[in-house]
Amino acid sequence: MEEAVFKATKSKPIAAKLKHERVILGETWTCRSSAHVFAELFHRPLGGKEVVVWKTLILVHKLMREGHPSCLDECANRKEIFDSLKAQYVGVQNIWGLLDYAYLEYLSLKISFHKEHRVVPGDINLNKFKENVTKFDPNKAILLVSGLLDLQKLLLSFQEKVLTSQGLDQCRLGAVVPCVLESYSIYLLIEYLLRKVQDTTDLDVTPIIDGFLKQFPVVQNFFFKASTIPYIRQFIPSPPLLDKPPTFNKTSAGNFKKPEKPEKSEEDKKKKKRDKSPLPQPQPQPQRQQVQRQTQLPEEFWGLVLQVEVYLLPLRLLRLPVNMPGARNNTLTLQ
């Protein structure tokens, strides 16, 4: 892992190899910790090493997005390092110093954002966010949208500085790749939260929606530029493209109120009352088995009579006494 960190943060202005970054990211998941990874990243003095700082910040950004969740806490614990580095680049006019300062500004805000909104994962993935939220709170959602809008605004400002810098190379574009993915995730989460608030409350979110729609053309232009850069397409084969801004059906109405049910007329009320009157209950029908038994009773009776006649016939012929309960005479004679 130490060798991978060293090779991924060399001072040469060339893009880090993906295999080295994978080793570093995988280390955090293998160990379920990132303390030793960050210790390796920052154990060297970084003062005056603009390219090394740049590559280190790219790794930090990817660790926050793709590394073990402990990376977010580790970044928060080392916030003073980022503040110290940012202070070194105040007033610096060379291109690497300007870009380092802009990247540090964004990552510092991202660290603070995740510390305040712990329910949001490092990659700001919408599906993961839904899994983390057990109960939707519209007031917290509005605060979250406000934080996401600020994060998106600073990200768009940062990527603009990178893409418009002179001598743009793959080393600088290495920071744009995670920014494209992150910007799209922010966009999706904001849209989801605004629709959720509108669908479940009567809160007026029109000013927030206006701010979101105002950002849309900038986000759209960013994605279009990214789609035209071959280096970015190596890592994101299909960069997100937005054709038109989202529509919010209740925005133009200002304060949204849930539609009220129309009052029913007196005739409708009477009709409903009549409909509620109890219906006559059908009389219970005799069970099929009982009906069959009743219809079969005569056959059983005549069968019993026949058996008795068969039994008595030889006795009558022999003039023997008949021992039958209920008989008046004990002998029978043939006439």
Helix and strand numbers, DSSP H then E, in the chain: 15, 0
Instruction: Round to whole Å and give the CA distance between 102 and 108.
Output: 10
Name the burial class of residue 138, with classes exposed (0-12), middle (13-18) and buried (19+) by CB atoms within 10 angstroms of its CB.
Answer: middle
pLDDT band at 47 (very low <50, low <70, confident <90, very high): confident
- Do 128 and 244 lie in a common domain? yes
Structure tokens given for 255: 């304060």
Where do we find the tokens 């998106």?
A: 152
- Do 127 and 191 lie in a common domain? yes
Least confident window among 52-61, 146-155, 291-300 = 291-300
Do 154 and 109 touch, CB atoms closer than 8 A?
A: yes
- Do 307 and 231 lie in a common domain? no
Mean pLDDT of the chain: 82
In this predicted structure, what is the pLDDT of residue 247?
A: 87
Where do we find the tokens 């850069």?
A: 229
Over 70: is that where the pLDDT of 321 sits?
no
- Do 134 and 241 lie in a common domain? yes
In this predicted structure, what is the pLDDT of residue 93?
A: 86
* Most confidently predicted of 148-157, 249-258, 322-331: 148-157
Structure tokens given for 328: 């008046």
Report pLDDT digits (tens) over 244-302.
889 887 543 343 333 343 444 455 555 555 555 555 555 555 555 554 444 444 555 55
Which of 178, 171, 179, 232 lies closest to 15, judged by CA?
171
pLDDT band at 328 (very low <50, low <70, confident <90, very high): very low
Least confident window among 27-36, 57-66, 181-190, 314-323 = 314-323
Q: CA-based Rg of the chain, rounded to a whole angstrom?
A: 42
Instruction: Give the HSE-up count for residue 201: Cα atoms under 13 Å, Cβ half-sphere.
Output: 16
- The residue among 206, 236, 258 that closes a domain is 258
Do 99 and 54 touch, CB atoms closer than 8 A?
A: yes
- Do 126 and 243 lie in a common domain? yes
- Do 139 and 109 lie in a common domain? no
Percent of the chain with pLDDT over 70: 74
Instruction: Round to whole Å and give the CA distance between 150 and 109.
Output: 9
pLDDT band at 72 (very low <50, low <70, confident <90, very high): very high
- Do 109 and 5 lie in a common domain? yes
Q: Is residue 249 part of a domain?
A: yes
Least confident window among 204-208, 218-222, 309-313 = 309-313
In this predicted structure, what is the pLDDT of residue 181?
A: 96
Instruction: Round to whole Å and give the CA distance between 103 and 132.
Output: 28
Q: Is residue 282 part of a domain?
A: no
- Do 7 and 126 lie in a common domain? no
- Do 197 and 293 lie in a common domain? no
- Do 142 and 111 lie in a common domain? no
Residue 188: domain span: 119-258
Number of domains within the chain:
3
- Do 137 and 196 lie in a common domain? yes
